[in-house]
Amino acid sequence: MQIKNKIAAFVFVSLWFIFSCGSKDDTITPPVETPHKPALKSIILNGAAFNTALLNVPVTPQIKVSFTQPIKSSTLNAVILTDHNGTNIAHAASLSNGDSVITIQPAASLSYLTKYNLTVGTTLQSASGGNLQTAVTGTFVTQIDSSRKFPAISNEALLDTVQKRTLKYFWDFAHPVSGLAREGSKHSSNIVTSGGSGFGIMALLVATHRGFKTKAEVLDRLQTIVSFLKDKAQTFHGVYPHWLDGASGAVIPFSANDNGADLVETSFLIQGLLCARQYFNGAAADEVKLQNDINTIIDRVEWSWFRQNDQEVLYWHWSPDKAWTANLKIQGWNECLITYVLAAASKNYSIPKTVYDMGWARNGAMKNGKTFYNYTLPLGQDYGGPLFFSHYSFLGINPNGLSDAYANYETQTRNHTLINYNFCKANPNGYFGYSDSVWGLTASNIKGGYTASSPANDRGFIAPTAAISSIPYTPNESMAALQFYYYVLGDKLFKDYGFVDAFSLDVIKNNGAWFDDAFLAIDQGPVIVMIENHRSQLLWNLLMSCDEIQKGLKKLGFEGFQ
């Protein structure tokens, strides 16, 4: 009995131990926290939502990136700020709002007018160790430096300043032997341009008219130029090539099939020479000699020969070894009206009116008549083409009141310009920087090349000459552009020889603002000349006083000129 009681007691104690203590597997442990992945809530740049590219951002921006989770501070190196070249920008990144907001501040002021890229990479982690699943990206563009680069002056003083500085291209930078205008500041120094020299001759007349140079100085320079053209420069049937060697006068090929006569460039040259003859019209021996030498140059141009066997059109090129291979007809509407006027007026080699009507006007096919931005365009391609169409021939031909069977040329030049202006203002291609103060599409250098910019070929590049040389047609719009180029962009644009050839403010599509560092004769010349036509009509009055121009316009059926 006693033994049974002992066994029972043992069993009880054993069972009590088993059920009260439990097994090792039943021990309770603290739960392991699951990593939470952070998700983007918002990006705020200087108080504005930063969901797409932001423009006109101050150069000291503050960016706040908010997440759904607290962020692990050791992973803030996932925040990267770069410029458009991919260069890393030093910045500070700090946490706030329970570590769920990253505040990003550049270490120094950013550059003006520059595109920057913000990236928060997937190595960013929450405090619990979860990785950001999708990188956060954003682009912003800093504002333009709107500070005034030069002291304020009157508009008349500004026009003086621009004309005088631009003159240096044709005075200081002219070829030392011939006095002719070099093609461009980045071209070989021996290349001079016939058409650009015609513009330069007109610019020299402005120089003495405005008192930038004395009349004696300009006369001496013109004597050098004219003597070189008459006695030394190579011609073909009296026509000059596009490019010549400034020292020898030998032709320099402009292209493979353009190594001889260029009738259009010669027209621009003669336009300038005629103005010089009319300006220096005195009876003194040196002025009479200049007049006679200019007449010799003009009278030997065989305009009619460039009909290529009496066709009812003029041809642009001819050379001794390429003959008519280029085969380019001079047909409107473009910059070449002066060519037909001079050809019609020629004393020895004139063309009949039928060549103008059938060749240049293409039996009326050069008409347009459509309306763009509420302006009717009488002639040419839709939207008018590059603005030099309304500049080169009209450096000397006064379009005001001028008309013929095909157009009113006051309407043509003004409406062409206003269409170009309104196209840039509307900016249908979305180029950053276009505005009512940044406009003007014409032929110019562009980043990496050269093109004839127009509404039909808009690549985001503005040439200062386009708006400035249009000032007789659009004085208010052109002056607004001129003031912006000078006062706001002057540190980038206004250099040794006036305004550089072209620029782009487009930091989005063109991946960075670009400012040319070169000058071209055919763009510098119209700036001086057309400003003067706006101010005094000097060159218009000179050319329109020529018997040749009066005769040519009358023969071709023009009206409304004096």
DSSP string for residues in 431-472: -TT-BTTB----EEEETTEEEE-BTTB--S-B-HHHHHTTTT
For residue 63, the surrounding DSSP H or E stretch is strand 63-67
pLDDT value for 28: 63
pLDDT value for 26: 54
Q: What is the DSSP letter of 390?
A: G
Burial bucket for residue 108 (CB in 10 Å: 0-12, 13-18, 19+): exposed
Q: Which one, of 41, 38, 66, lies nearest residue 127 by Cα?
A: 38
The proportion of the chain whose per-residue pLDDT surpasses 90, expressed as a percent, equals 91
pLDDT value for 16: 41
Q: What is the DSSP letter of 184?
A: B
Q: Which one, of 387, 333, 335, 388, lies nearest residue 364 by Cα?
A: 333
Beta pairing partners, 184: 520
Relative to beta strand 371-372, strand 317-318 is: unpaired
Q: Are 351 and 344 in contact (CB under 8 A)?
A: yes
Q: Are 431 and 509 in contact (CB under 8 A)?
A: yes
Q: Are 443 and 450 in contact (CB under 8 A)?
A: yes
Q: Which two tokens stand for residue 313?
A: 């059109």
Residues 444 and 494: their CA atoms lie apart, in Å, by 16
State yes or no: cis peptide before 333, omega within 30 of 0: yes
Grouped pLDDT means (10 residues each) for the chain, 562 residues: 45 42 54 84 92 87 96 97 94 97 97 94 96 94 96 98 98 98 98 98 98 98 98 98 98 97 98 98 98 98 98 98 97 98 97 98 98 98 98 98 98 98 97 97 97 98 98 98 98 98 92 93 98 98 98 98 84
Residues 442 and 445: their CA atoms lie apart, in Å, by 10
Q: Are 468 and 527 in contact (CB under 8 A)?
A: yes
Which alpha helices (DSSP H) does 172-236 contain, by range?
A: 194-209, 215-231
Residues 6+ apart with CB under 8 A from 493: 464, 485, 486, 499, 500, 503, 515
Single-letter code of the amino acid located at 231: D
Q: Which one, of 462, 71, 506, 525, lies nearest residue 269 by Cα?
A: 525
Q: Are 224 and 281 in contact (CB under 8 A)?
A: no
Residue 194 Cα distances to 53, 227, 348, 484, 539, angstroms: 47, 14, 22, 32, 18
| Tokens 């473009």 belong to residue | 334
Tell me if residue 317 falls in helix, strand or coil.
strand
pLDDT value for 25: 54
Domain 155-555 has CATH 1.10.30.50: no
- Chain mean position to CA 89: 30
Q: Are 198 and 272 in contact (CB under 8 A)?
A: yes
CATH fold of 40-142 reads: Immunoglobulin-like (2.60.40)
Tell me the pLDDT of the chain averaged across its residues. Answer: 94
pTM of the model: 0.91
Q: What is the CA radius of gyration of the chain?
A: 36
pLDDT value for 536: 98
Q: Are 128 and 88 in contact (CB under 8 A)?
A: no
Residues of each domain in the chain carrying CATH 2.60.40.1220: 40-142
Tell me if residue 352 falls in helix, strand or coil.
coil
Residues of each domain in the chain carrying CATH 1.50.10.140: 155-555
Beta pairing partners, 251: 244
Residues 4 and 235: their CA atoms lie apart, in Å, by 143
Q: What is the DSSP letter of 367?
A: B
278-315: string of b/e by CB count within 10 Å (b at 16+)? bbbeeeeeebeebbebbeebbeebbbbbbbeeeeebbb
pLDDT value for 53: 76
pLDDT one-digit tens code per residue, 92-114? 999 999 999 999 999 999 999 99
